[in-house]
Amino acid sequence: MLKWDFKSVKGGSFGKVTLGELSPEQVKSIGIYDCVLTAAMNSDVANPKFSKYFCKEGVSRWGAPVSKAGNIEYGFCQALHGEESVVGAFRASCDRNSGHETIVLGIIDEESGMPAAPCGNCRDIMLDDLGANLEIISGPSKGGLAVVTGFKDFLFDSFKDWAGFNEGADKRYSPGADKGAIFHFFNQVMQVTDMVKLGRRLENDPYSPKGLSPGRKYYALIATGKNKFYGAHHLMCDYHPVYAVERAVIKALDEQKDPFIKYAIILTENDSEDSGGFKPPHVMYRDRQHLYELNLYQELILKKEVDPPVYLVTCNNRPGQKVLGRVWRTSVKEWLPFPFSARHFGAEFIEFLTKHQEERQ
C-alpha cells in the first residue's frame, strides 16, 4: 500500500514554495487525505486524447463516499478538466448542505513537493460550488511527499485600495496612494469614460440574469506601448461565454501581434447606493488566466520577467451623479497565486512556444 508524507503549504509562489508540518486539525484529516489520493491513483476516468496528460483525481468529505474523477478531452482540443469532473462526481454522490462542509480533493501530481496548479476556469467552478474551505492534496503516484494546500491559497482578492475619485476638482486619495501614477485615470478621465461607452457597444449579453453578481459584469482594456485593446463579455445561449479580458487578449494576439502589456484596466458599472458602497470588479479566474498567458508570451519574447499592473475600477452608473468611482491595484501575477502555466510543460515545450510566438511577430 502506498504511503504519503503529508506537508502543508505555508507560503510561496510559482516555482517556490515553503512547506511545514500539518496543523492539529489537518493531522486529524490524514485518513481522508490518504483516501482521496488512493481513489485518485485508481481513477480510470481520464481520457486525454490530445494532451496525453492524465489528471487522476478523487474527492470526498467526512462521512461520504469517495468519488473518482479525471480530465475528459473532446472535440478539437476542448476538455472537461479534472476539477470540473470532480464537481460533477462529488455532487452526484453528495447532497448539498449548509455550505460549511470541508471537502477534500486529491490529485496525483508527479511534481513532488509542489502544490497543485488548477487553471483559472477550475478555480471558478470550485469556488462557486465547493467553497473556499476546500483542501487540495497533491501527491506522486509512487507515494512520498504529498502537499496539502487550502483552496484560499489559490485565491486573491486583497486588492490595494488605490484611490477614490470625484469627477471635477474634488479628488480623494487613499492613504499611501501612488499620486504620481494616477494619471491613467485622473488626468485622462476619457480613458475610463471611453471604456464605458465601448464596453456597452462590445457587450453581447442577452442571457445573464439582471442584477446577479454585478461585479462579474465588467469591461477590459489591455494597453501596450502602441495599442489599446478593449473587451466585453460575449454570451450565447449555450452558456460557454467569452469573457471581457479574453476578448481583448484575442485582439492583441490576432490583430496586431502585440502581447507587450503595459497595464490593464478592468471596469465595472455599479450602483453604489444599492450595493453598499464601491467594490472592485470580481474578475473571473479564467480571465486572469488568459491575461497571465498573454504576459507569458511577452516574457518569452523579451527574454525577461515582467509583471504589469492591473487597475480595477468601479464606476457609479446612477444618472445625474458625478462620482466616477474607486480604483484598486494589483498585478498580472499577484492576483493568480500558484498559477497554471505552460511552464509546467517543461523547458522543451517552453523553447518551442518561444519560437512559435517569435515567428508570429
Taking the C-alpha atoms of residue 188 and residue 320, their distance in angstroms, rounded to an integer, is 21
Question: Both 233 and 250 in a single domain?
Answer: yes
What CATH number does residue 284 fall under? 3.40.140.10
Question: Both 209 and 111 in a single domain?
Answer: no
Question: Both 147 and 241 in a single domain?
Answer: no
Residue ending a domain, among 154, 172, 201, is 154
- pLDDT score, position 319: 61
Taking the C-alpha atoms of residue 67 and residue 337, their distance in angstroms, rounded to an integer, is 27
Distance of CA 328 to CAs 15, 35, 47, 231, 246, Å?
27, 42, 42, 19, 21
Question: Both 206 and 64 in a single domain?
Answer: no
- pLDDT score, position 186: 46
Residue ending a domain, among 97, 125, 154, is 154
- pLDDT score, position 1: 63
Number of domains forming the structure of the chain: 2
Dump strand ranges (E) for 48-155: 56-61, 67-70, 72-74, 78-80, 103-108, 135-139, 144-150
Residues of the chain with pLDDT under 50: 165-184, 186-188, 322-323
Question: Both 95 and 212 in a single domain?
Answer: no
Residue ending a domain, among 154, 176, 197, is 154
Question: Both 246 and 323 in a single domain?
Answer: yes
- pLDDT score, position 63: 79
Question: Maximum CA pair distance of the chain?
Answer: 71
Of residues 116, 109, 67, the one with CA closest to residue 90: 67
Question: Both 116 and 165 in a single domain?
Answer: no
- pLDDT score, position 180: 41
Question: Both 135 and 164 in a single domain?
Answer: no
Domain that holds residue 51: 4-154
